[in-house]
Chains A and B, each alone.
Chain A
Amino acid sequence: MKDALEQATSGGGKVSRDWGAIAPAVLVFALLALGPLAAEAYGGAYLTSLLMRMMLLAIAAISLDLLIGQGGMVSFGHAAFIGLGAYVAGIMITEGAADLAMILPMAIVASTVFAVVTGAISLRTSGVYFIMITLAFGQMLFFTASSLSAYGGDDGLTLWERSTVFGFDLLSSNVTLYYLILVTLIGAYALVGALVGSRFGRVLRAAKENPTRVEALGFSVFSYRLTAYVIAGVMAGVAGVLMANQAEFVSPSTLAWQRSGELIIMVVLGGMGLRNGALLGAVALVALEETLSSITHDWRLIFGPLLVLTVLYAKTGLAGVADAWVARLWRRA
């Protein structure tokens, strides 16, 4: 039991090298890999697109957890990066530069620039003020998107084709796009896992506990945090590029503040700073929304109180529960 407790609380480090720690994620990835097959049997294109949306939100949530769970930086404007990536893709496809080899670097540059500028300003503040200033930057981007009348303005922008990959028309098939998204998701999960286990991650976590002491040890807390902010922003930007391709539609609602709130819910519901937290949170939230909305049109009447109850009574998040299960199985085996 002590071992399980250690796993649940350490949130990285030696745990990331432990197979038991990533077992829940591997299970999720394996199930997701079967998604297109399941869609053949039932659900069809609807199930595929639902699962793709789920995976893209999971990428964004995983990147957000690097900020919240590891760095203690509660960004309330993370959807802005998804929107940035989505709009870069949307605009470039509309303008005829539809190849992913051009769109991806452009989206990465755009996210990096936005993250460096807004991060450098936001990181002057902390706590609640950080939450609100990231929200402010998110809103600025939201209104910029709404005013792009050449690209749909408030109504959004419909894309008539998807990106090509080095000139090949691979993504017009939902199955290829599906597996590209899955691979990106696994990559994002692995990248954040590696970062968490590295020296970089340790400094970030230490700065969350006690920034003054970390500063006194000779680290620049600001640079570490800004680096994390940029990495998370770029990851969400890449998710945005894929999201534009998946939905074949981009609109300001992609970066509305409610979307940023949803990402935070995923992270907290899943378990902040835990290896599988954001992933499980995203999967559970999208699945729950889908199930409830298929039961009743007024599903928010159930979802709202459910959220309140989860916060009040389930304090470790889903990943905490999953970790405890895995630990129990491990000991029995």
Chain B
Amino acid sequence: MSTTLLLIQLLNGLQLGVLLFLIAAGLTLVFGVMGFINLAHGVQYMVGAYLAVAFYGVTEHFLAAMVLALLAALAIGLALEFLVFRRLYHRDHLDQVLATFGVILFLNQAAKTIFGPTPLILPTPEWLDGSFLLVEGLLYPWYRIAVIVAGLAVAALLYVLVRHTKVGMLVRAGAANPQMVSALGVDIERLFMIVFGFGAMLAGFAGVLAAPIFSVEPGMGDDLLIVAFVVIIIGGIGSIKGAFIAALLVGLVDTLGRTLATDAMKLFFDVSSANQIGPALASMLIYILMAAVLFFRPTGLFPAKGMA
């Protein structure tokens, strides 16, 4: 294991962590503020990616496609909130899981029916195309650096919004004690809608950013959704700070685990067993991390709910 490879994997891990944060941020707020389990949040990520591809086909311009995709993702998120999710806030968690599962099935199939089952690709914008010399003899693509920077910028923006604006204060208060916020005369329904639309847009943004790196295909959000849930559970439901730290942690653990696990296993087992155990262990690592966190802290690292 050379330092160069380690450096690359660190950057890749950071990039995954940033994407995860963009998805997890909306998920944790919706979950924390409204007590609403939205399995369909991963589909918003897919929707963002498909919209970017579709709008790129029309505009042939990356940034224009991104802006249009974000607006459309916001509109779709708000439409879903209005049509379905609004009726589920006061229902049992199980009902929420079920109904949002139905939404996943529908949107995944709709993507397949409209765009076809073959993966699509969104080209990288020319001004970010190309690579730079990371260290001697090793190129790293500019676009991936841009993803990390964009993600961190959104994280900073979110921090300011949540910490230093009135809406942010209400959101924080809502995550800690929604009944009290409602009793104090805040229109909690409207707050829910804002949080929901914003979360959907963030997930869509993650989808747009990911589109040039991963292939755009139906169901692309499903596995990422599960990982995003792992992130918000580790971070503590309702906590943006927790989501940020846990997202980077999960991104790094997953990426580094995949490169290091096999080598680490070679210390304990012979080569052929290590080659088998290594990849399995690497895929499991984040779940082991989550189980361990829950074992020691049953409500995550930074629980937003006070004593309750």
**Cβ-defined contact, B98 with A311, below 8 A:** yes
Binary contact readout A246-281 vs B (1 if CB under 8 angstroms, 0 otherwise):
000000000001100100110011001000000000
Stretch touching chain A among B16-24, B69-77, B182-190, B278-286: B278-286
**Cβ-defined contact, A300 with B109, below 8 A:** yes
CA distance A301 to B110 in the complex (A): 7
Q: For the complex, is B120 an interface residue (Cβ under 8 Å from A)?
A: no
- Give the shortest distance, in Å, between A125 (CB) and chain B (any CB): 5
**Cβ-defined contact, A307 with B105, below 8 A:** yes
Binary contact readout B58-102 vs A (1 if CB under 8 angstroms, 0 otherwise):
000000000000000000000000001001100101110111011
**Cβ-defined contact, B276 with A264, below 8 A:** no
**Cβ-defined contact, B113 with A298, below 8 A:** yes
Q: Taking A129-B299, A144-B284 as contacts, is the C-beta distance between A308 and B102 under 8 angstroms?
A: yes
CA distance A264 to B96 in the complex (A): 12
**Cβ-defined contact, B288 with A133, below 8 A:** no
B93 to chain A: which residues have CB within 8 Å? 74, 127-128, 131
Q: Taking A129-B299, A304-B103, A312-B99 as contacts, is the C-beta distance between A139 and B284 under 8 angstroms?
A: yes
Stretch touching chain A among B3-11, B151-159, B225-233, B244-252: B225-233
Q: B295 contacts which of A124, A143, A308 (Cβ < 8 Å)?
A: A124
- Give the shortest distance, in Å, between B29 (CB) and chain A (any CB): 15
**Cβ-defined contact, A139 with B287, below 8 A:** yes
A137 to chain B: which residues have CB within 8 Å? 287, 291
Task: Name the residue on B nearest A265 (C-beta).
Answer: B98
Binary contact readout A123-146 vs B (1 if CB under 8 angstroms, 0 otherwise):
011111101110111011001101
**Cβ-defined contact, B87 with A312, below 8 A:** yes
Q: For the complex, is A306 an interface residue (Cβ under 8 Å from B)?
A: yes
Q: For the complex, is A9 an interface residue (Cβ under 8 Å from B)?
A: no
- Give the shortest distance, in Å, between A220 (CB) and chain B (any CB): 18
**Cβ-defined contact, B280 with A129, below 8 A:** no
Q: For the complex, is B106 an interface residue (Cβ under 8 Å from A)?
A: yes
* Interface magnitude class on chain B: 35 or more
A127 to chain B: which residues have CB within 8 Å? 93
**Cβ-defined contact, A147 with B279, below 8 A:** yes
**Cβ-defined contact, B280 with A144, below 8 A:** yes
Q: For the complex, is B119 an interface residue (Cβ under 8 Å from A)?
A: no
* Interface magnitude class on chain A: 35 or more
CA distance A310 to B101 in the complex (A): 12
Q: For the complex, is A96 an interface residue (Cβ under 8 Å from B)?
A: no
**Cβ-defined contact, B276 with A121, below 8 A:** no
Task: Name the residue on B nearest A74 (C-beta).
Answer: B94
Q: For the complex, is B141 an interface residue (Cβ under 8 Å from A)?
A: no
A311 to chain B: which residues have CB within 8 Å? 88, 91, 95, 98-99, 102
Q: For the complex, is A303 an interface residue (Cβ under 8 Å from B)?
A: yes
Task: Name the residue on B nearest A301 (C-beta).
Answer: B109
- Give the shortest distance, in Å, between A90 (CB) and chain B (any CB): 17
Q: Identify which of A139, A143, A311 gathers the most chain B CB atoms within 10 Å of its CB.
A: A311
- Give the shortest distance, in Å, between B143 (CB) and chain A (any CB): 29
Q: Taking A128-B93, A129-B299 as contacts, is the C-beta distance between A308 and B99 under 8 angstroms?
A: yes
- Give the shortest distance, in Å, between B291 (CB) and chain A (any CB): 5
Interface residues of A (CB under 8 A from B): 68, 74, 76, 121, 124-129, 131-133, 135-137, 139-140, 143-144, 146-150, 257-258, 261, 264-265, 268-269, 272, 298-301, 303-308, 310-312
Interface residues of B (CB under 8 A from A): 31, 37, 39, 84, 87-88, 91, 93-95, 97-99, 101-110, 112-113, 222, 226, 229-230, 233, 237, 276-277, 279-280, 283-284, 287-288, 290-291, 294-295, 298-300
Would you give 20 A-B contacts (Cβ < 8 Å), ordered by A?
A74-B93, A125-B298, A127-B93, A129-B294, A132-B229, A133-B233, A137-B291, A139-B226, A144-B280, A257-B226, A258-B222, A261-B101, A299-B109, A303-B102, A304-B104, A304-B105, A307-B101, A311-B88, A311-B95, A311-B99
| Given A74-B94, A147-B277, A269-B98, 8 other A-B residues pairs in contact with their CB atoms under 8 A | A125-B294, A132-B229, A148-B276, A299-B109, A307-B105, A310-B98, A312-B84, A312-B87
